Structure 1
Amino acid sequence: MNINQISWGDDSAEKDAYLLEYFVTSESLKRLAEKEKGIVIGRKGSGKSALLKKLDQIFRDQDETTVIKVAPKYNSIRTILNNKDISSNFGTEIFFQHTWLRQIYLDLMCNIGHGAKGVYASGSYEVAREIAKQQGRTSKDIVENIADVLAKVKAKVGDLGEFGLELEKELRNIADVEALEHHINALISNKEKAVVLIDDLDLGWDNSETANDMLLGLLSAANYIGGMNNNIHPVIFLREDVYSILMERTQHSDKYRNVERLRWSKGDLVAILESRINFNRTRDGLDAVPNPFLTVFPQTVGVSHTDNWMIERTLSRPRELIQLSRYYSEGVDGDLPSDAVLKASESEYSNWKLDDLCAEYSNQYPGLGSVFSYWKTRYRRHKYHLKKAELEEILLGIMGEVTLNQDWFSKLVDQVNVDGLMAILYEIGFLGDFVLGGQGGSKTYYSYESRHEPVFDEVQIHSCFRKAVNTVERIRSL
C-alpha cells in the first residue's frame, strides 16, 4: 500500500462518510450509550462530533426511540446575537430557556408527526402530524422560533422586568410550553423514548453576555426536560472552555457537574490511527494486520519511539494526531515508512497547530496571533525551556512592543500584568509548568491533562508549537 494514498478521513466528522466504519469505541461512548451523562465536554478536535455521530447511530437502532439533532447554524446564532432587542432588553437566561424548550418540543413533535403520515392518527399523534404537515419534518429554525416568542412578548411589555413575579408563567404561556408539554408527555411515555442530541453550540458564540445567557438557557431547558419526562434524554456537546465560562456565570453549576470529559490515552490515540490504516488496507484488497502502526510509521524518530514522539506533539486530541499523520503520509514516496519525512512534516504541522490554537480562542483572546508572530521573530532560535525570570522578560517585551487593540490585552498591558499573560498561555496549552525533582522525577504539567496549580518557576513551550515559534531543536537523529 502506497503510504501517500492513505485517506485519514474528512476533517469534519459530520462529513466523513466512513467514520462509523473505523470508529474506535471508548469508555465515554459506553457511559453515554447507557444514558449516564447528559453533558459532553472536550476541547476543539477532541472527538465530540464523532462521538455524537456514533451515538446517533446507536440510539436510532434502538426500538421505539425517536432521535433528533439540534444544531444551530452559524448565521442563525449571529442573527440572534446581533438583534438589538434581544441584546438590550430580552436576551436573558430564562427567555432563552423557554425558546429552547419550544424549539426542542416542536422538533420532537415534527419528527413523530412525520412518522405518523399515511396512518390513522388521533389525539396528540394527530396534532404532531398536523405540525409536521405545516412545517416539514423539522420545525422552524431557532431564529424563527425566537422571533415568534419575542414578538408576542413585545406585544405585552417593553422589557421582561415588567412581568414581575409572573415572568416564568408568562413565558411558558407565550412559548406554548404547557400545550406542547401535554402532547409530548402523551407521545413519549411507557415504552417510547426520545433522545435529543445538541451540537455546534460554539458556532457564532462570541463570549458576550447574551451568547452566554443563550447557552445557559439551553442548559436549563435540557435539565428541565430530563426531569419533566424520564423517557426523554437530552445530550449537550460543548467545548470545554465554553463550559468553564458558563459555570463561572451561573449560580446553578451544581446541576451541570455530572459531565463526560473527553480524555484520550496514548493507547486510544494510536488505536484511532490503526483503525484507519486497516480500513485503507482492506479497501486496497489487503488483509488487516494486528499492529498496523509500524506498516506506515517508522519505529523511532531520533531517540524516541514514534508513537510517543507523535503524541507528544499534540494536545492529546484525535484531530491533531490525524492532521500530523496526514502531513507525513502525503510526503512519503512508496510503501516504506520514513523517519526523515515524519521529522520534516513537523514544521508544517506545527504552524497549522498554532493557527488552530489562535482560532480556538479567537472569542476569548482575539488577536492572539499577534503575540505569537512577535515571539517567533523576536525570539527566533530561543530555547523552549525557560526560567521564570527569562519568561517574564519575554512577556514584558511582548506587552511593550506588540500593538494589539483588544480589551483583554490592553487590560494586561495597563496593569503590567505579566502573571496574567503567563496564566493565559498556560490555560490555552502553549506553556507547561515544569516541576523539578520529587519521587516521580521532573515533569511538565499542561492544563489539558489534569488539575494542577501552576507555579511557573520553570516552564516549557509545548512540543507542538516549538517549530512554529522557531525554538532551538533538541532531539538529535541517531
Structure 2
Amino acid sequence: MSKETTVAQRKISPFDEEKIQRLFGHEAAEDEDPQRLQEYYFKPSTYDQVVTELPLRIVVGHKGIGKSALFQVALAENREMNLLAISVKPDDVLDIATESNDFLKSVRNWKVGIREIIEREASRRLDVDISSTSGSDLLLMRLAKELGAQGCVDELGAEFLRSPQIIVYIDDLDRGWQGSTKDVRRISALLSAVRDLSNEDRGIKFRISLRSDVYFLVRTSDESTDKVEGSVVWNSWTNNEIFALLVKRIETFYGRDVDYDDLSSRSSASLAHYLDPVFEPRFQGRGHWRNAPIYRVMMSLVRKRPRDLVKLCTLAARSANRTKHNLILTGDLEASFEEYSQGRVQDAINEYNSELRDIERLLFGMRPSKKEASAKAGYVYPTESLIRKIKNIQEQGKFYFASGREASPQELAAFMYKINFITARKESGGLIHRKYFEEQRYLQSKFADFGYDWEVHPAYRWALQPSDVRSVFDSLELSADD
C-alpha cells in the first residue's frame, strides 16, 4: 500500500496481505519493520520491571507472549537515549560452551565468550580500539580511557563518558532447544556467567529472555539457579492490555494518535468502538456467544498471548479478503476457528514436547468421550473428574518427563495448567472467572484442592472435536474479564 493511499481508500480496500500485516502487525517481532513496531507497540505492565537500572533481568514467558517485541522496543529506546545497547543473537553464541561436561569450565567459557562479544561490539559502536589496552582493567574502564583520549566524541560517546554502561540483550536462546541434559547445563552455565560478569563490572547490564518451559527445566535441574531467581520477570499480559494493544494497532494504522495512559486506564468495553472500522460489532453466530460483542469472542480465544490475537485476526482477515468483505464479519471469524485451534495445539506440542514425552497423546486424549459428548460435557471438570480423565488416558500408556521420571495424574494436571491447556475456573454470580498459571502458579497442586474447577481452554476445542463444531459452540462461555 503506497503512502499516498487515503484513509478512506484504506478503509474499504480488500484485506490483502500487505494491509493485514500493516494493520495487525507481524506475528514475530524480529521480522517486523522496526519503525512500525515502535509505532504500535503497547507496553505491558511488566515493561518497567525489565528496563530498570538493575544489572540482571531474566524475562520468562510462554512462546508468543512478546518477549522479543519487548526487547526490540527497549533496545530502540536505549539507543534513542544514546545509551550503549548491544543485541546478542543465537548465531553469536553458537559455539560457546557446547562441549564441556564440567559446569565450572562451561561458566568460564561463557564468561570469556560473552566478554569478547561485548568488547567487539562496544568497540565498534564507540569507534575505539582497545585491543592494546591492559586486560587487567575492567572493560568499561578500558573503553572510557580510550574514548577520553580521543578528545572529540559523538553523542553516544559523550553519554558513555558521562555514565559508563553497556546494556546487553540476549534473546532467542531457546532456538533449537531439545530439553536435553546438555541443553539445561549450557543455559544454567550462561545464567551463572552473566551474573558473575554483571557483578564484576557493575556497569554491564544483562537482559535475557527464556521460554517458560526452558526456565522451568533449568530451575528444577540446577540448584545454583536460585541465585538468579530474584532477577526473573514473568512477562504476562491481562486481557485488557492485549485488547488495548489491538486498538493501538488499528488506530496507528489509520494515522491517528492514541494516548498510552488513556488506553491503559480504560476498560475493554469502553474501547470496543475502535474496532468498528475493521470488525462488525457483534457476533451473529450460535451458542453462548450469540450477540456478544465481537471483541469478547476474540478475547475468549486468546491464551493471554499477544501473538494469539495477531494470528486470529490475520486468519479472519484473510477469510474477509476471500469473501470480498469490507469488514471482518462473524462468518470470517467462524471460518478461521478450526485452523486457529489446530495451530494452537501444534504450538503447545512443539513448545513443550521437550519437557513431556508423548505430549500429543495427552492433549488429544482430553477430547470428549462419546459419553461426555452426548451429555454435552467434556471440557469442564471438577478436580476429581479431571484426575479420573487423566487416569483413563494413562491406561493407554504411561507418561514420562524429560528426566525419565514417570508422571502422576496430579502432575499431568499441573503440567496442562502450566502450559495453559487448561485454566482454573470458578462460577460466581452468573459469571465465569478464569485463572491462568501466570496469575496463580501454585493453584493446581497434587496436595491441595483450591476449590476451582478445570476447563480446557477454548482455543483448543475445534482441534479436539473437529467433527462436531456445533457442540463446540454450545460448550463455550464468556468469562467475566473478556
Which residue of 2 is the match for residue 32 of structure 1?
A: 50
For 1:31 and 1:403, locate their aligned partners in 2 and report how far apart those are by CA, in whole Å: 41
Superposed displacement of residue 395, structure 1: 2.1
Query: Are 1:105 and 2:96 matched, yes or no?
Result: no
Please report how far the alpha carbon of residue 331 of structure 1 lies from its aligned counterpart in structure 2 after TM superposition: 0.9
Paired residue for 1:296, among 275, 278, 282?
A: 278
Pick the aligned partner of 1:4 from 15, 25, 45. Answer: 15
Task: Give how far 1:462 is off.
Answer: 1.0
| Equivalent runs, 1:192-207 vs 2, <5 Å | 192-207=164-179
Per-residue CA shift, 1:267-325, capped at 9, x if unaligned?
A: 3211221222234334xxxx678853222123232143222221221210100111111
2:141 equivalent in structure 1: 185
Structure 2 counterpart of 1:223: 195
Deviations 1:407-444 (A, max 9, x none): 6698547xxx322322222222112233455x897634
Q: Does structure 2 retain, via aligned residues, the 8 Å contact 1:109–1:184?
A: no
Quick one: which amino acid aligns to residue 353 of structure 2? S
Partner of 1:165: none
TM-align CA RMSD: 3.3
1:432 corresponds to: 423
Q: Can you list the C-alpha shifts for 1:385-425, whole angstroms capped at 9, x where unaligned?
A: 22445434432332122587x66698547xxx322322222
Equivalence for 2:380: 385
Corresponding residue for residue 85 of structure 2: 67
The question of 1:280 aligning with 2:250 is answered no
Structure 1 letter corresponding to 2:112: R
How far apart are the structure 2 equivalents of 1:346 and 1:180? 60
In the TM superposition, what are the counterparts of 1:337-416 in structure 2 within 5 Å? 337-376=328-367, 381=373, 383-401=378-396, 412=406
Aligned to 1:57: 76
Aligned to 1:450: 440
Letter of the 1:300 partner, please give it: R
Structure 2, unmatched stretches of 5+, are: 1-10, 145-160, 259-270, 284-289, 466-470, 478-482
Distance, in Å, in 1 between the alignment partners of 2:298 and 2:307 is 12
- CA change 1:226–1:269 in 2 (3 A) is same
Task: Mark the CA change 1:418 to 1:186 in structure 2 (over 3 Å): closer, same or farther.
Answer: same
Partner residue of 1:47?
A: 66
What is the CA–CA distance in structure 2 between the aligned matches of 1:346 and 1:433, rounded to whole Å? Answer: 23
* TM-score, with structure 1 as normaliser: 0.74
Deviation at 1:370, TM superposition (A): 2.6
CA distance in 2, matches of 1:184, 1:265: 39
Q: Secondary structure at the match of 1:271?
A: helix
Alpha carbons of structure 1 residues 127 and 60: separation in structure 2 relative to 1, 3 Å: farther
Asked whether the equivalents of residues 381 and 454 of structure 2 are also in contact (C-alpha less than 8 Å), the reply is yes
Which stretch of structure 1 is more off in the superposition, 52-61 or 223-232?
223-232
- Counterpart of 2:181 (choices 209, 212, 225) is 209
More deviation, 314-323/463-472: 463-472
CA contact (8 A) 2:84 2:166 kept: yes
Question: What is the distance in 1 between the residues matched to 2:402 and 2:188?
Answer: 23
Is 1:431–1:459's contact at 8 Å kept on the other side of the alignment?
yes
Q: Deviations over 1:49-86 (max 9, x none)?
A: 001111111112233x3222222249937x965x4xx3
Select the residue among 303, 310, 313 that pairs with 1:315.
303
Question: Aligned equivalents of 2:403 and 2:229: distance in 1?
Answer: 31
Q: List per-residue Cα deviations over 1:335-363 (Å, max 9, x = no partner).
A: 23412322332222111111111111021
1:44-193 matched pairs, under 5 angstroms: 44-63=63-82, 65-73=83-91, 76=94, 83=99, 86=100, 89-90=101-102, 92=103, 94-115=104-125, 125-127=130-132, 179=135, 182-187=138-143, 191-193=163-165
Q: Secondary structure at the match of 2:25?
A: coil
Residue 106 of structure 1 deviates from its aligned partner by: 1.0
Which residue matches 1:466? 461
2:260 is the alignment partner of 1:260: no
**Identity value in percent:** 21
3-state SS, counterpart of residue 295 of structure 1: coil
CA offset digits 1:223-259 (Å, max 9, x no partner): 2222222221111112223223333322451443133
CA distance in 2 between partners of 1:80 and 1:409 (Å): 22
**One-letter amino acid of the structure 2 residue matched with residue 320 of structure 1:** D
Amino acid at match of 1:106: E
Segments of structure 1 that go 5 or more residues without pairing to the other structure are 129-177
Q: Measure the CA separation in 1 of the matches of 2:426 and 2:92.
A: 42
- Identify which range, 208-217 or 368-377, moves more after superposition: 368-377
AA aligned to 2:312 is L
The residue type equivalent to 2:121 in the other structure is N
Which of the numbers 16, 20, 42 marks the counterpart of 2:32? 16
Question: In the aligned structure 1, how far is the partner of 2:473 from the partner of 2:92?
Answer: 41
